[in-house]
Structure 1
Amino acid sequence: MDNFPIIDPHHHLYDLKTGHYPWLQGPMLERVFGDYSAIRNDYLIENFLADIKNQNVAKTVHLQVEYDHNDPVAETRWLQGIADKHGYPHGIVGFADLSSPDLQRVLEAHLEFPNVRGIRQCLNFHRDPVKTFIDSPHLMSDARWRAGYALLQRYGLSFDLQLYYTQMEEATALARDFPDTPVVLNHTGMPVDRLPEEIEGWKKSMTLLASAPNVFCKISGLGMGDWKWTVESIRPFVLDAIEAFGVERCMFASNFPVDKLFSSYDDIFNAFKAITRDFSDSERRALFHDNAERVYRL
């Protein structure tokens, strides 16, 4: 009953012999997901296929993984070569700095590769520098950055949105200002702060962000805020996200190999299956497969 087809719309691959990934090859950094020395080695398509072998993963989407930003298209070029040979990944979300004066050329270069579907530029800004990914807390309101964001619609690209709940009010305004650009929230809105008032703030902010109809939610990455998670500990976050966005705008994802720091691939998808056991077949099909297929045009 549980072996229905799955689309995993958020995973990473990397080849440290041919790519340049400063966070994986340079000094260890303090990151929100803690000690990541266990994933500072190649994670190739063969490794990924071995991890997914017990789940019926029909298609996947690869998210940029902080490849050398001096050549943001190199990662896409490498991934398209893998997809042409193996089928996976079926969709590619590349990196672009939306405030770059070179943005139009970068987007056009990404779009030379048929599997490209969207762009991600991580926007995480937090009072704790360990949890912060960018220098400016308000890129989404910056005129130059927004001019770059406006190009996404012209090129038919979606935007993968990675930030914290404290930034969701600004993100809601952005999504409403550009209603024809699909926005895919990463990692359940990254609820890494677990004081009761912060969880409440996350819930309210998720409801606000969901009020923009062009925003979708990837339920993933919950291990980053709960390194020893269980089905019961992540259940409320999964159900709150679905309550905010609705079954038709959520999708389950692995965040592998980052979440491999906390659990196996089977643990993640079996947890999502357990939490949705009482959902209808059509609701589960939407969450595990159909929504990702529709949003990422797979």
Structure 2
Amino acid sequence: MQVVDSHIHLWDLKTHRYPWLDNPGVSFVGDARDLKHDYLLDDLLGEAGGIDVKKLVHVEANHDPADPVEETRWLQSIVDRAESRGMPNAIVAAVDLSASTAPAWLEAHAAFPNTRGIRQILNVHENKLFDYVGRHYMREPQWRENFALLRRHDLSFDLQIYPSQMEEAAALARAHADTLFALNHAGMFVDRDSVAGYRAWRDGLRMLAACRNVYVKISGLAMFDHHWTVESLRPYVLETIDAFGVERAMFASNFPVDRLFGSYADLWHAYAAIIEGASVAEKEALFCRNAERFYRI
């Protein structure tokens, strides 16, 4: 099967610093100690098995925030090697949009040919176990002012939030209807132990899907389901596709993070099994075409 993997990470610990891998620990997403090793393009392609990886989208890997542009520079150097086959075909770079340096960083990222978008992790949760950033960036005037610069550079935004933040995110998407958003990891449905939690995720998906400039990545599900099976993933995959439609959803691996809980080939074959009844055109859209269109690759 052919795929365009719209969400992967690479890192080289010999030459770059990733603060979260300095002293990794165990969290709800798994044991990061098992990720403290180089993970390069050859590593990912080498474990693809029978999956024909046509194109890759690299999403920022929490590189040293003091120099986020260095990660993009390194990735572009990989792209420019003949043996890379142009991968990663798209780069989603890191910028702290609340920083005074954000305009300069955006301009620097945009100068690289393969840069297509920006991600800044926004996950806030009242439970400290799940809280990533401890502040509501979307409510900050400076952050919102710099966010508006994305359009100037023709950059999309990878939106990583929880369901409790979806209403604010939908308002942001409506306010910036000329900027494309990609909701990461199917909205990161973490509050799975209550009816209210499920309703917040389900209704939030549809609120975001009502914004025609918002797409969704079906990825990262193993972070919340460490012993996943095709049947355990099925309701989340189908609910997400039902909300966004086959024209604005795309599958992705979230490797090597989801590698903690299964092989690359097993994950893609699970997606294929879940949508087995879809048409050929629908499968092509979910596995390849939507990602190619969104990231212009």
| Same fold (TM > 0.5) | yes
Residue matched to 2:134: 135
- Equivalent pairs counted in the alignment come to 293
Map 1:224-235 to 2 at 5 A: 224-235=223-234
2:175 is aligned with 1:171: no
Question: Match for 1:239: what amino acid?
Answer: L
CA contact (8 A) 2:25 2:33 kept: no
Q: Name the % identity.
A: 50
Question: Match for 1:259: what amino acid?
Answer: D
Q: Deviations over 1:191-226 (max 9, x none)?
A: 122114112221111111111110000000000111
Q: Deviations over 1:142-200 (max 9, x none)?
A: 11111010000111000000010000000000000000000000001011221141122
Residue matched to 1:34: 30
Structure 1 ranges of 4+ moved more than 2 A? 28-32
Q: Separation in 1 of the partners of 2:140 and 2:16?
A: 31
Match of 1:186 among 172, 184, 187: 184
Q: Deviations over 1:101-153 (max 9, x none)?
A: 111110111112100000000000112222111121x2112111110100001
Q: Deviations over 1:71-103 (max 9, x none)?
A: 000000000111111121000000001111111
TM-score, scaled relative to structure 1: 0.96
- Alignment gaps of 5+ in structure 2: none
Map 1:20-169 to 2 at 5 A: 20-24=17-21, 26-85=22-81, 86=84, 87-136=86-135, 138-169=136-167
TM-score, scaled relative to structure 2: 0.97
2:268 is aligned with 1:269: yes
CA contact (8 A) 2:45 2:53 kept: no
- RMSD of Structure 2 on Structure 1 (CA): 1.0
Q: Separation in 2 of the partners of 1:63 and 1:99?
A: 19
Question: Match for 2:178: what amino acid?
Answer: D
Shift of 1:30: 4.5
- Alignment gaps of 5+ in structure 1: none
Residue matched to 2:204: 205
